[in-house]
Structure 1
Amino acid sequence: MHSVNVTPSMTPAVDVRLRPAYYFSSECLGPYVTGLLERCTSIFELKKAMATDLAHGNAGVSDGRGVVENGALLQGEVIVQAGARIEAGARVIGPVLVCTGSVVSAGALVRDHSVIGPGCRIGFGAEITRSLLTSHVFAKHPCFVGDSVIGRRVNIGSFCSTTGLRCDRGPVAEPAIEEITVTLDGQRIPTGQTKFGAVVGDEVVLPAGSVLSPGTLIGPGTVIHPRDHIGGFLPAGSRVR
């Protein structure tokens, strides 16, 4: 099944659990991230809107160039806002926006069509690709975040990984052709995307070694005890053992 384009009539945006406001508060997000969340009616629209903004230079103009240390490797269009820093030994492949107060440390990899929101810390061995980190996300250890949206003050433990491809129907194809769906109240809802990792709400801590299935939705304030696999929809304030 090939990917389809999501239109307002196809997206059940009336369901609060599919709205950005269910997962993310508007505090301390900076102008670009705040505007992005406000104009997207569904969480399924965020990645596409962000990618379009970055590809066309519409992710906002930096208020001053941040610090790029000698020895950092930048390719393509990389916007480093004032107060942000990319350290020697980090690699950033644009288009990417690194917002005020964020640090991409030595040994980190940030790849195409990603926004690192204000105050984030991306550490050695962390890889971020095609993802939005809204604000003050800590990914300070080896981990992988792909095709995902991560909320404010989320801590991503060592060796955590999102997964964005279906692998339950034979060999994995690249580019992907199987659409990712999410399940709410027993109904499968199309995302319109063949790569869709996770949406993780504000102030969630992902324990070390956690693996998130494609299409995982985690509401804000959820407490997850150590476990190896997480999937499906977890309402706000859940306690998961």
Structure 2
Amino acid sequence: MSSPTRTLGRCEITTPAVGTHTADTRLIPAYYTDAVASPYVADLLARCRTVFDIKPVMCADLDTPGILAVASGGFVADDAQVEGLVIVQAGARIEAGAHVVGPVLICSGAVVAAGALVRDHSVIGPGCRIGFAAEITRSLLVADVLAKHPCFVGDSVIGRGVNIGAFCSTTGLRCDRGPVAEPATEEITITLDGQRIGTRQTKFGAVIGDGVALPAGTVLSPGTLIGPGTVIYPRDHVGGFLPAGARVR
């Protein structure tokens, strides 16, 4: 099955076809992360042919009672604000002053600290640390992600051991076509080798590979793909595709 194409303005967009046997290596989850630390996350990524599938599949899992098949038993402080379905695995913590709005899965060893906001179809993987004024929404944090300072991560996949500096932000919504509509209507696309590829989503932030550190104040454009081991020097804006091991000044 070939990938369908369509036009947007004067540009042709290719949308990866669901169920095909081939995908550009730069679009598969394994290019960006090793997810063996969490059985659920490993299973989730194994079911996704491209990185564009991760959020829809994760959201469907969180919306289906019992499908996660994971036990709770973690710590939730009396002064934490928890709403909706929030699964806190044994060894995970939601501390006093944190705000979590389900459906959300907090994996073993993760900590959501005072002043943090986690909401709306998110999975916080094992060992992650979400700190004061950090907001996470509709995102997968694979494992050992540090978001300990004010920042925003939305509609994104963040790999193992990523450090998100203070005042960093993903952006998942197009704002170059007049007034912003909510719900969004413009599909987010990426460009690889001069070809525009559709994500099938109107909100798509970033995919950040294992071991990447975002310097403080970095803003990522919609549809940013950052390969593992990439080194990003201090700068205010990053976008497009950065291959594994790249150095960006």
Shift in Å, 1:7: 4.1
The answer on whether the counterparts of 1:145 and 1:162 sit within 8 Å (CA) in structure 2 is yes
1:59-84 per-position Cα deviation (integer Å, ceiling 9, x unaligned): 52333410000100011000000000
RMSD across aligned positions (CA): 1.5
Asked if 1:223 corresponds to 2:235, the answer is: no
Asked if 1:52 corresponds to 2:60, the answer is: yes
Indicate the SS of the match to 2:40: helix
1:163-197 per-position Cα deviation (integer Å, ceiling 9, x unaligned): 00000111100000000000000110000000000
In structure 2, give the amino acid aligned to 1:19: I
Shift in Å, 1:43: 0.3
2: CA distance, partners of 1:77 / 1:122:
19
- Aligned equivalent of 1:107: 115
The answer on whether the counterparts of 1:114 and 1:128 sit within 8 Å (CA) in structure 2 is yes
Q: 1:231 to 1:48 in 2, by over 3 A?
A: same
In structure 1, give the amino acid aligned to 2:27: L
Corresponding residue to 1:178 among 180, 186, 203: 186
1: CA distance, partners of 2:79 / 2:67:
26
In structure 1, give the amino acid aligned to 2:125: G
- Aligned equivalent of 2:18: 8
The answer on whether the counterparts of 1:62 and 1:82 sit within 8 Å (CA) in structure 2 is no
Asked if 1:23 corresponds to 2:32, the answer is: yes
User: Identity of aligned pairs, percent?
Assistant: 69
In structure 1, give the amino acid aligned to 2:206: A
The answer on whether the counterparts of 2:168 and 2:214 sit within 8 Å (CA) in structure 1 is yes
Asked if 1:214 corresponds to 2:214, the answer is: no
- Aligned equivalent of 2:152: 144
1:78-104 per-position Cα deviation (integer Å, ceiling 9, x unaligned): 000000000010000000000000000
2: CA distance, partners of 1:187 / 1:22:
19
In structure 1, give the amino acid aligned to 2:216: A
In structure 2, give the amino acid aligned to 1:197: G
The answer on whether the counterparts of 1:221 and 1:237 sit within 8 Å (CA) in structure 2 is yes
Corresponding residue to 2:213 among 187, 205, 208: 205
1: CA distance, partners of 2:199 / 2:182:
18
In structure 2, give the amino acid aligned to 1:24: T
TM-score, scaled to structure 2: 0.92
* Structure 2: tracts of 5 or more residues without a match: 1-7, 9-14
Q: 1:195 to 1:12 in 2, by over 3 A?
A: farther
1: CA distance, partners of 2:237 / 2:98:
29
Q: 1:69 to 1:44 in 2, by over 3 A?
A: same
Asked if 1:94 corresponds to 2:97, the answer is: no
Shift in Å, 1:8: 1.5
* Structure 1: tracts of 5 or more residues without a match: none
Q: 1:134 to 1:58 in 2, by over 3 A?
A: farther
Q: Following superposition of structure 1 onto structure 2, how do residues 54-133 of structure 1 map, counting pairs within 5 Å? A: 54-58=62-66, 60-133=68-141
Corresponding residue to 1:134 among 142, 146, 151: 142
- Aligned equivalent of 1:162: 170
1: CA distance, partners of 2:67 / 2:129:
20
Q: How many residues align?
A: 236
The answer on whether the counterparts of 2:62 and 2:68 sit within 8 Å (CA) in structure 1 is no
